[in-house]
């Protein structure tokens, strides 16, 4: 399989970000084992779990998407937007879970929940465009 230069670049960037997810896992372990000094609610712990899980899953999806985007016939600029869209969505969705849970004694999302929803929209647009591009290309 030959990857485009753009796919190689994005895959390299994505792989370099994975240690931050690993570090987040050690933070999560500290929180869940009760070693974190700030008291957190069950809601906050759940949001941190969700943020960490989404980060891992969406980064893997972002890697796979780079290969798929190489196989659609959209223009260079749109392909670059899609490549960045998957990476941006991973940051926004996982970061949105964390940002919406920051504060004392929270039992529901704070006003930063918009970050998560923006990520959901970016992800949906990226998925739909890539999916339609692959379907269009499959007819050739």
Contact of 47 with 98, CB cutoff 8 Å: yes
**Domain locations along the chain:** 5-138
Q: What is the pLDDT of residue 1?
A: 72
Phi-psi region of 102 (alpha: psi -120 to 50; beta: other; left: phi over 0): beta
Regarding pTM above 0.75, the answer is: yes
Compute how many other C-beta atoms are within 10 angstroms of the C-beta atom of residue 91.
Answer: 18
Q: What is the pLDDT of residue 103?
A: 94
Q: What is the pLDDT of residue 102?
A: 94
Q: How far apart are CA 97 and CA 116, in angstroms?
A: 6
Structurally, at CATH architecture level, domain 5-138 sits in Up-down Bundle (1.20)
Q: What is the pLDDT of residue 115?
A: 98
Compute how many other C-beta atoms are within 10 angstroms of the C-beta atom of residue 63.
Answer: 17
Q: What is the pLDDT of residue 140?
A: 67
In the chain, which residues have pLDDT < 50?
Answer: none
């Amino acid at each position: 399989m030959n990857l485009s230069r753009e796919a190689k670049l994005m895959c390299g960037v994505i792989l370099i970000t994975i240690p931050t997810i690993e570090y987040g896992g050690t933070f999560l372990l500290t929180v869940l084992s009760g070693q974190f000094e700030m008291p957190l609610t069950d809601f906050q712990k759940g949001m941190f779990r969700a943020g960490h899980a989404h980060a891992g899953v969406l980064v893997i999806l972002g890697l796979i998407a780079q290969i798929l985007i190489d196989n659609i016939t959209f223009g260079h600029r749109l392909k670059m937007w899609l490549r960045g869209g998957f990476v941006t969505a991973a940051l926004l969705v996982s970061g949105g879970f964390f940002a919406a849970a920051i504060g004392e004694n929270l039992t529901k999302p704070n006003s930063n929940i918009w970050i998560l929803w923006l990520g959901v929209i970016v992800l949906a647009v990226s998925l739909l465009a890539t999916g339609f591009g692959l379907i269009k290309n499959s007819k050739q």
